[in-house]
């Protein structure tokens, strides 16, 4: 079953927890994007090698709903968009906590774990640029 599917914690509380985590871990700023009166993404900035990098973590409620619809035993929870929103934000919070744990344990640098969500000057994330073939990456094959 999808992570956090039974949560009762309000989305607004989870968003505030995410902001708190990022703020206490050194973010230069944290804000929230809204769509239709609901939080849709957390925006934040961190200095990476003394350069302020902007990041945007979206919350995909419809993705959670679609995943729940496919899972056996989830009943009709996928129809409850408020519950899907609560679940989606809890998943984002858990992911942020896990990434920060990697950084604190010096297993990765902050830029490494959040790079796909870094915002390019075009407004797209670096992952979106890659996905749309606007950013080339090699296969990593070192054999020629």
Top-confidence residue, 95 or 136: 95
Mind listing the pLDDT tens digit for each residue in 16-32?
999 999 999 999 999 99
Range 124-127, long-range pairs (CB < 8 A, 24+ positions): 125/56
Report the pLDDT averaged over residues 118-141: 76
Domain ranges of the chain: 11-131
| Residue 135, pLDDT above cutoff 60 | no
pLDDT for 128: 86
| Residue 11, pLDDT above cutoff 60 | yes
Mind listing the pLDDT tens digit for each residue in 29-81?
999 999 999 999 999 999 999 999 999 999 999 999 999 888 877 778 878 89
Give the full edge-to-edge strand order of the sheet including 38-48. 29-35, 38-48, 51-58
What pTM, to 2 d.p., does this model score? 0.87
Mind listing the pLDDT tens digit for each residue in 83-129?
999 999 999 999 999 999 999 999 999 999 999 999 998 888 888 88
User: Which residue in the block uniquely carries the two structure tokens 């009166």?
Assistant: 37
Top-confidence residue, 102 or 133: 102
| Residue 133, pLDDT above cutoff 80 | no
Strand intervals (E) in 16-141: 29-35, 38-48, 51-58
Across 5-16, b (16+ Cβ under 10 Å) vs e yields: bebeeebeebbe
Judge whether 129 and 66 are in contact, CB under 8 Å: no
SS3 33: strand
CA distance 58 to 69: 21
């Amino acid at each position: 079953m999808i992570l956090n599917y039974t949560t009762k914690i309000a989305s607004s509380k989870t968003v505030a927890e995410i902001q708190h985590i990022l703020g206490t871990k050194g973010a230069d700023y944290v804000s929230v994007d809204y769509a239709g009166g609901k939080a849709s993404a957390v925006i934040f900035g961190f200095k990476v090698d003394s350069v302020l990098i902007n990041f945007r973590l979206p919350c995909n409620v419809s993705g959670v709903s679609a995943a729940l619809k496919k899972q056996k035993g989830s009943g009709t929870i996928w129809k409850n968009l408020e519950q899907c929103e609560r679940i989606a934000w809890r998943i984002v919070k858990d992911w942020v906590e896990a990434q920060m744990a990697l950084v604190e344990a010096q297993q990765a640098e902050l830029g490494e774990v959040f790079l796909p969500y870094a915002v390019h000057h075009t407004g797209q994330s670096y992952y979106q640029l890659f996905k749309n073939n606007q950013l080339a990456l090699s296969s990593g094959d070192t054999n020629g």
